[in-house]
């Protein structure tokens, strides 16, 4: 019996509730993620040597993996709380709707832990944020949902908040990672945003997996194999089998978030029915529970199969 098989067998000793929590917390680091993580790391470390902070714009449709990349990076740079101080190496916040200077600075103060985040004028909040950034030794700032810098109805780029962000970046010296939907680049490309655009020359796009070419199929199957190895099940599920991989792709369109939703649900079903591997029947049921509603009229890629206890 191989070491991998031996390791899997130990899962049988772990309570089902704990194993369900393990799969719900599961984040997969694969080559495309790693490229983005490396770029963030370079941006982070370069700022310590450069007088002018630089930034990265990460683009991708909903579910492409932007948030996964960010959370993986934050895991390796956690907040540290001691009796003397709170250190926040990486500060993360979501751009609110509507996006204004005051709503954004409030979101950042909340994220850093200010108990009076909403109090004060925009000017006093900004001054307080700068003090917190220095006191908490913030080295990198990540803003998610960057597309909110553009007005939804008029598609007008919100120049005031763009200028506020540029000034914050200049005065704190903290590099930034912006993450948003594919059209987020229009905020930086706006003719009135040249100074902010210059600070975000590097752009990374996270696209769904493909399945047309041999290379695309290999990449997707490699991703599924990594997931399979990390599932808290006593047996392997052979998710990278060509036929199974094709069905999973058909069910998810290669969108990382959809793949993870399908696999997480299938794993919970397996555990609750005392199964130790994912089968086509289990994947079929998971598809019906988690993804079918998003694809009305589309046949179940795994077949209409009932789970037999």
Question: For the segment 72-119, what is each residue's pLDDT rounded down to a tens digit?
Answer: 899 999 999 988 889 999 999 999 998 999 999 999 999 999 999 999
pLDDT at 2 over 60: no
Helix segments in the chain, DSSP class H = 3-9, 16-24, 31-46, 66-75, 101-112, 122-135, 159-172, 185-189, 194-198, 214-230, 242-252, 256-272, 280-290
* Residues 149, 187 contacting (CB under 8 angstroms): yes
Q: At what angle do helices 101-112 and 159-172 cross, to 10 degrees?
A: 40
> At residue 86, what are phi and psi to the nearest 5 degrees?
-115, 125
Q: How confident is the model at residue 262 (pLDDT cuts 50, 70, 90)?
A: very high
**Locate tokens 């250190």: which residue?**
87
pLDDT at 218 over 50: yes
Q: How confident is the model at residue 282 (pLDDT cuts 50, 70, 90)?
A: very high
* Residues 75, 33 contacting (CB under 8 angstroms): no
pLDDT at 52 (0 to 100): 78
**Locate tokens 């919100």: which residue?**
158
Question: Rounded mean pLDDT of 11-24?
Answer: 94
DSSP-assigned letter for residue 12: G
Backbone conformation region of residue 214, classed left if phi is above 0, alpha if psi is from -120 to 50, else beta: alpha
**Rounded to an integer, what distance in angstroms lies between the CA atom of residue 309 and that of residue 294?**
27
- Between these two residues, 306 and 93, which has the higher pLDDT value? 93
Q: What percent of the chain has pLDDT over 90?
A: 69
* Residues 73, 82 contacting (CB under 8 angstroms): no
Q: How confident is the model at residue 8 (pLDDT cuts 50, 70, 90)?
A: confident
Give 114-147 pLDDT, tens digit per residue.
999 999 999 999 999 999 999 999 999 999 999 9
pLDDT at 307 (0 to 100): 47
Helix (H) / strand (E) containing 57: strand 55-59
DSSP-assigned letter for residue 271: H
pLDDT at 1 (0 to 100): 42
Q: Which two tokens stand for residue 306?
A: 């009932």
Least confidently predicted of 6-10, 151-155, 268-272? 151-155
For residue 159, CA distances in Å to 142, 163, 172, 186, 202 come to: 19, 6, 20, 12, 21
pLDDT at 231 over 80: yes
Pick from 287, 249, 283, 245: which is nearest to 267 by CA? 283
pLDDT at 304 (0 to 100): 61
**Locate tokens 């194999």: which residue?**
225
Least confidently predicted of 62-71, 242-251, 252-261, 287-296? 62-71
**What pTM did the predictor assign?**
0.82
Q: How confident is the model at residue 309 (pLDDT cuts 50, 70, 90)?
A: very low
For residue 192, CA distances in Å to 159, 196, 262, 273 come to: 8, 9, 43, 58
pLDDT at 67 (0 to 100): 84
Q: How confident is the model at residue 3 (pLDDT cuts 50, 70, 90)?
A: very low
Q: Which two tokens stand for residue 139?
A: 């080295």
**Rounded to an integer, what distance in angstroms lies between the CA atom of residue 168 and that of residue 162?**
10
């Amino acid at each position: 019996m191989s070491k991998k098989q031996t390791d899997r067998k130990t899962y049988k000793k772990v309570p089902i509730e704990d194993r369900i929590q393990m799969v719900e917390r599961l984040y997969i680091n694969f080559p495309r993620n790693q490229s983005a993580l490396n770029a963030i790391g370079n941006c982070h470390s370069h700022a310590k040597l450069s007088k002018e902070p630089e930034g990265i714009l990460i683009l991708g449709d909903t579910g492409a993996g932007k948030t996964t990349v960010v959370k993986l990076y934050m895991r390796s740079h956690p907040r540290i709380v001691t009796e003397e101080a709170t250190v926040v190496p990486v500060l993360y916040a979501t751009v609110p709707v509507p996006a204004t200077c005051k709503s954004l600075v409030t979101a950042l103060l909340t994220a850093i832990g200010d108990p009076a985040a909403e109090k004060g004028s925009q000017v006093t909040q900004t001054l307080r944020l700068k003090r917190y950034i220095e006191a908490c030794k913030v080295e990198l700032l990540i803003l998610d949902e960057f597309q909110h810098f553009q007005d939804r109805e008029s598609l007008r780029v919100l120049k005031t908040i763009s200028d506020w962000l540029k000034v914050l970046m200049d005065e704190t010296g903290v590099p930034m990672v912006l993450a948003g939907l594919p059209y987020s680049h229009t905020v930086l490309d706006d003719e009135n945003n040249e100074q902010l655009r210059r600070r975000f020359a590097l752009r990374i796009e996270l696209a769904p997996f493909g399945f047309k070419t041999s290379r695309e199929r290999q990449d997707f199957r490699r991703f599924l194999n990594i997931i399979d190895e990390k599932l808290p099940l006593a047996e392997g599920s052979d998710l990278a089998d060509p036929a199974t991989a094709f069905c999973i792709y058909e069910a998810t369109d290669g969108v990382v978030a959809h793949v993870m939703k399908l696999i997480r649900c299938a794993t919970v079903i397996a555990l609750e029915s005392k199964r130790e591997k994912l089968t086509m029947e289990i994947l079929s049921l998971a598809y019906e529970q988690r993804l079918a509603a998003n694809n009305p009229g589309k046949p179940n890629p795994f077949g209409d199969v009932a789970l037999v206890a």
